[in-house]
Structure formats: structure tokens, C-alpha cells
Amino acid sequence: MQTVRPAAVAGMFYPADRETLARDIDQMLAEANARIGDLPPKALIVPHAGYIYSGPVAANAYRQLTPFVDRIHRVVLLGPTHRVAVRGLALPGASAFDTPLGRVPVDQAAVSLIDDLPQVTTSANVHALEHSLEVHLPFLQTLLPRFKFLPLAVGMASAEEVAEVLERVWGGEETLIVISSDLSHFLPYEVARSVDLDTAQTILRLQQPVSHEQACGGTPVNGLILAARRHGMTPQLLDLRNSGDTAGSRDRVVGYGAFAFMEDPAHG
């Protein structure tokens, strides 16, 4: 039976009106100022808060795709669970996700590549209200002419378990990996800046573990770091800000970072 996961956080994390949403994303992408690299990113780390807070930082990540959009047909999207606990990595058991911009099909071929792994489970309940994956879809829908995606909500898992899943679906230039993660939470502005800078340097050095206090998506970030080492990837910092820079008080802020990971064509 084909099931569609409806938009759960439209009107809260991002506009529910199609025209408003499209306009806002176009504006954020137009204002993004991170330099576009010469190589297509194989993986991105992108924040997942409400667009008023993290949207400009996310735009600096997604702007990296603009010269390469015709190559990308599969997006592997991993984000942490916020509402429902789960062991391992959860598939949604759905055939597609809806947003105000339309319907995004789940890549069933990619599902079949990983569904035999013991750390992979299926839970519609885990995905039902989860925002960490949904908020990325409107950006991807705006940029990519046609794509399917593999949504994975990451719960209690090891970095090795995440990396094993990534290896199964690594693919070539047709496959983009997106790790959804914010950074520090609810620290004073200057403290958050220092903590997030240290976290960024850890990621850029391909070190792990990145703790959940450093990044709410620490588990998928750590899995990407393991895979990045094995594939000889080079990470780049595109943006590092917090909610005190974009919207809201500086008393207690949430940190946001945008990173791109490039594969070395000569890596064997």
C-alpha cells in the first residue's frame, strides 16, 4: 500500500503558503554569500531550525549545489529524532513526503539497499512529527529538477552503524548526502560562538566523536566523518552563526553551521 507522509511543520518552521515559501527560499538563496566550490559537494551538513533562525545558514549550504543540480538525482537525508526515541536508523515506510511545494518520492531502490541491515528499522511514528528532515525538502525541491530521497531518522546508533548505511548508498555524482544538524543549544551568545567554533574545527579535522551537546545531529555527523575519512574527503566551512545573529535574543542561542564535503577525484 502506497502511503504519503504529509507536511507536519509547515506553518511553524517554514511558511505553509506555497507562494510565500517559494519566495522566501528564492530570497535566501539569492542572499547567500558563501563561495561556490569548483567541485560538487558529495555531502552537506545543514541546520534544521525554523527558517527565520537557520534558513540563511542553510541557504549557504544549498547554494553550493547550483552549478551541479542536473547531476543529482538521489538525496540521502539523515537527521536526529526529536520526539520519538528509536534504536538505529528509521525509515518512514512511506512512498513519498508532501510539502507545500509538492510531493517528493522516496527512493525505493535506495531503501532496498539498506533494509537488510540490523540497525535499519521502519517507523512511521518516528517520522510523523519530525522536523529535522522535512525542513530541508523545500530547499531541495527548489534547486533540483528531479530527485528521489532516502529519509532516515537517526536515533540510538553508533557512528559505525551510520557509516555502514552511508557506504551502501554512497553511489556516484548522482547521490548527495545531507546531514541535518544544529550545533550548541541555549548558551549565552559569546559562549555559543566559542563552543561552535571548536565544534567546527573538530569537523574540519575529521575528528570524532562530536557530542550531542555540540550538535544535536552528532550521531549522523560522526557517521559522515568516518565515511569522509575512508573516502579521502575534504570538508569546508561555509557559514557559522547562531540565532542571535539571525533572529531572537542573545541570552540563550542555538548554533548553526553549514559544511560541504568534497571528494578528491584522485582518491582511490
Q: How far apart are CA 12 and CA 117, in angstroms?
A: 35
Angle at 122 between CA 142 and CA 74, to 5 degrees: 30
Longest Cα separation, the chain: 51
Q: How far apart are CA 143 and CA 21, in angstroms?
A: 13
Q: Give residue-wise pLDDT tens across range 104-162.
A: 999 999 999 999 999 999 999 999 999 999 999 999 999 999 999 999 999 999 999 99
Which three cell numbers, joined as nine digits, stand for 84? 520519538
What pLDDT score does 264 carry? 74
Q: Give residue-wise pLDDT tens across range 199-234.
A: 999 999 999 999 999 999 999 999 999 999 999 999
Domains of the chain: 4-263 (3.40.830.10)
What pLDDT score does 1 carry? 56
Q: How far apart are CA 119 and CA 135, in angstroms?
A: 25
Mean pLDDT of 241-257: 97
DSSP structure class, residue 211: P
Do the bridges between strand 96-99 and strand 102-105 make them parallel or antiparallel, or are there none, so unpaired? antiparallel
Q: How far apart are CA 241 and CA 182, in angstroms?
A: 10
What pLDDT score does 136 carry? 98
Mean pLDDT of 79-83: 96
Q: How far apart are CA 35 and CA 228, in angstroms?
A: 21
